[in-house]
Chains A and B, each alone.
Chain A
């Protein structure tokens, strides 16, 4: 082998080692810039994929659209009224909590977002949403739907963000089981079977916990964690004891394979 080739080989390997030694923040920043450049291409690809997939579906007449529009407008009015009522109750609740010396509950802003692509890699359960730091999204912000928890943001670019789903093994959530004092750490399986809603494991429960199938699991909001308390994550399917603790298999509340619209919790008001 020529000396020049050996020198070049060593130089390229050195570049690889140097890059691997960069701090996580810098790597994320590099990835963010790269994905920002790539965003138009990826969006086009996904739009084409979506268009091809929806040919012949969802075609509606003007009358049907008009009826749907009226129904949605009515529903919107009802929801606005309910929301206003709940806000008043929330304010009253916070006043009472303050009066008895409890910490005031945080109130969060929900930023609507749309999933623009999903599961682009073999090993990680992620989706990409159409909101980035321009919209106020930051790293490690919870993402949810009206039904329950979806995941949290990881890499945030100018106009898009990557969301690691709750079914991913790296997305760990402190969770509690409804109607019990049981708390544990919830995470996904390393390899989720494709085309299924996924499976979650709630670990570190007490061995003699009495859990029934169907019991709801909510975020515990322990300490300064990412997830506020009280968000539905799923429901218990079965409970098993292990040598040191108890483990519950949990079905996710949100169908993560079919969800299109989500909300990012962008911070306290």
Chain B
């Protein structure tokens, strides 16, 4: 029951994050970088949930992201459905590897992992687009648009952790309750 609650909470969090990042405008000062919260939420879930449930969360998150940002012009798909699922499975596996420490209260790896995962997700999208189009094009704005959302996610990671911590008892094994093995 606790596991199911954890997965449901993760899915609801990803869904809300998707809606929120859709509603928030691009930041002109950061060369059009956007708020991208989905990898942050997923990362936290991946560190808290058991492996099979992390996979379910990866499936849900990847499918939703691909449906939201599918770009088809003239019958040509830029990033096919399913690509994000593969990304979130790999990303989630890395995050899930840090789960034992996370359950003991070592939450700080969430900061670099959320930032790195967000930037890696955006970079993956850019690489896939470039492979589909006429090759790579580099621009200063590209660096901003990849790294700035990652930095924003890193800043928000401790805030999110602090906000979620009171609900930890509802999640599987009461994650982040400084449980000692």
Contact = CB atoms under 8 A, between A and B. Distances in A.
Q: What is the interface residue range for chain B against chain A?
A: 35 or more
A25 B80 CA distance: 12
Contacts of A101: none
A41 B15 CA distance: 11
A27 interface: yes
Interface stretch (A163-171, A176-184, A215-223): A163-171
A27 B141 CA distance: 30
Contacts of A49: 23-25
Contact of B139 (A9, A121, A191): A191
Nearest to B32: A194
Most buried by A among B71, B77, B93, B149: B71
Contact of B59 (A12, A17, A28, A169): A12
A118 B51 CA distance: 37
B22 A42 contact: yes
Interface of B: 19-20, 22-28, 31-34, 36, 51-52, 55-56, 58-59, 62-64, 66-78, 80-83, 85-86, 89, 93, 122, 125-126, 129-130, 133, 137, 139, 141-142, 145, 149
20 contacts: A1-B51, A5-B52, A13-B85, A13-B86, A15-B82, A19-B82, A20-B82, A21-B82, A24-B77, A31-B72, A38-B19, A41-B19, A45-B20, A45-B22, A46-B23, A48-B23, A120-B22, A122-B26, A122-B125, A123-B126
Interface of A: 1, 4-5, 8-9, 12-13, 15-22, 24-25, 27-28, 30-31, 34-35, 38, 41-42, 45-46, 48-49, 117, 119-124, 126, 140, 154-155, 164, 168-171, 190-195
